[in-house]
Chain A
Amino acid sequence: ETGVTQTPRHLVMGMTNKKSLKCEQHLGHNAMYWYKQSAKKPLELMFVYNFKEQTENNSVPSRFSPECPNSSHLFLHLHTLQPEDSALYLCASSQDRVTEKLFFGSGTQLSVL
């Protein structure tokens, strides 16, 4: 147990659906991240939030919409996704952006049909 919890663990959605991924950390960290892990590719950073403010958007398509209502919670809202968006979506947190020792959740395995 890393202290970072992601729900759901698995998600299957159609291209016209709207769904949300949730991440919660109980570590008192101030920075939270969304990463995408596709088969046979390195992890790709998607978004970074520091003290609830988005500090980085790695050219992610607008069909992915992050939300960070407080330092403990992070959401990724999904709409009109494409089959190539199927991947493992990982949430992580760190004490701050300088420390960079990341604690990861178990991920949400997303399949877009």
Chain B
Amino acid sequence: KQEVTQIPAALSVPEGENLVLNCSFTDSAIYNLQWFRQDPGKGLTSLLLIQSSQREQTSGRLNASLDKSSGRSTLYIAASQPGDSATYLCARTSGSRLTFGEGTQLTVNP
């Protein structure tokens, strides 16, 4: 059973658009929720880490929120740019285990 689900699997938007990526998880007893970015053939870069006691984190044009009661997290990207094109993964921590979703492949068209 998929423990972490990301919707949509792929997203294509024009440059400048604001967008939201979704992540849902089945286990509400999480400790942390992280969002990562992965460029093709590369490793992952941590974008935002939300502790379980927090509700959101912001970094530049990125804002991530966490709603443990509904088992959801969203990553909001403002004023998207072609350089934002990548796969975005969310991962939740429960106990000592980090569980990843399959990712959303984002393409921002110039």
Contacts and interface: CB of A to CB of B under 8 A. Distances in A.
Contacts of A43: 44, 89, 91, 100
A62 interface: no
Interface residues of A, number: 24
Interface string A52-72: 000110000000000000000
Interface in B1-54: 4, 31-32, 34, 36, 41-46, 49
Interface residues of B, number: 23
A48 B96 contact: yes
Contacts of B31: 100
A37 to B, nearest CB: 9
Given A42-B4, A100-B34, A105 B43 contact: yes
B101 interface: yes
A60 to B, nearest CB: 14
A101 B43 contact: no
B84 interface: no
B98 interface: yes
Given A43-B89, A48-B96, A56-B96, A104 B102 contact: no
Interface of A: 2, 4, 6, 40-43, 45, 48, 55-56, 88, 90, 92, 97, 100-107, 109
Interface of B: 4, 31-32, 34, 36, 41-46, 49, 89, 91, 93, 96-103
**Considering the complex of A and B, which 3 residue pairs feature the smallest CB-CB distances, nearest first?**
A104-B43, A43-B100, A104-B44
